[in-house]
Amino acid sequence: MEIAKVWDIIWDNEPFHWATAFVLVVAVIVEFYTLWQYWRSECGTTEAAIKFIKKGKNVKLSNEVRQWLKDHLGTDDSSRFKQQDGNFILIKYPSVLAHPIPRSSLRFVTTLCTAIGVLGTFYGIQQGLQGINLSTKDSQELMTASTELLMGMKTAFSTSLMGLGSGSIFTLVLFGCDSLRQERRDSLRQKLKAISQL
């Protein structure tokens, strides 16, 4: 099945479709931003400090790395790092590596997308049933009412698909971002363990 056909089935240009799309796009942007913050800000200083410890004097020190070295090794001078059995001695383990990876605060978005889809489903059904008059004997009026009912059902099913699909996509985004955070933390733990000990 072509993507264009699938898109035509899912998208019906109703307010519920736009609301679901808006929630999904904003949530994905915020989740990627928090992943970037964790990757660069929280883990970046620790990674830069590990590189400095490995390479020594050839690496330029930023203020954050200098402070990290003072907090965790007691000095920012590579010639004065305490060593034991070839490993550097940490006076304090980095908290970013000691704590579990932060869980996303956006886990509710999956449920929200699904709820918007279900709300759109009931709206579509109500919209389709609104014009039906079962007491009429005019066949043309019944055909018109049936057409309206089918249009409402199209809205109902497409909003359900949009909500469930958006929720599923965001669940995959959450899983991917959590995996990347875990991989980043575990990688830094291994690098630090290879060159230091408490």
pLDDT the model gives residue 144: 72
pLDDT the model gives residue 31: 93
Distance CA 178, CA 38 (A): 11
Distance CA 63, CA 190 (A): 24
Neighbouring-strand partners of residue 89 = 197
pLDDT band at 26 (very low <50, low <70, confident <90, very high): very high
Q: What is the mean pLDDT of the chain?
A: 80
pTM here is: 0.77
Q: For residue 97, what are its two tokens?
A: 């590596």
Q: What are the pLDDT digits (tens) for 113-136?
A: 999 988 988 888 887 777 666 666
| 8 A C-beta contact, residue 71 and residue 92 | yes
pLDDT the model gives residue 89: 73
Strands 83-84 and 87-89: antiparallel
Distance CA 86, CA 72 (A): 17
Dihedral-angle region of residue 86 (phi above 0 means left; psi in -120 to 50 means alpha; beta otherwise): left
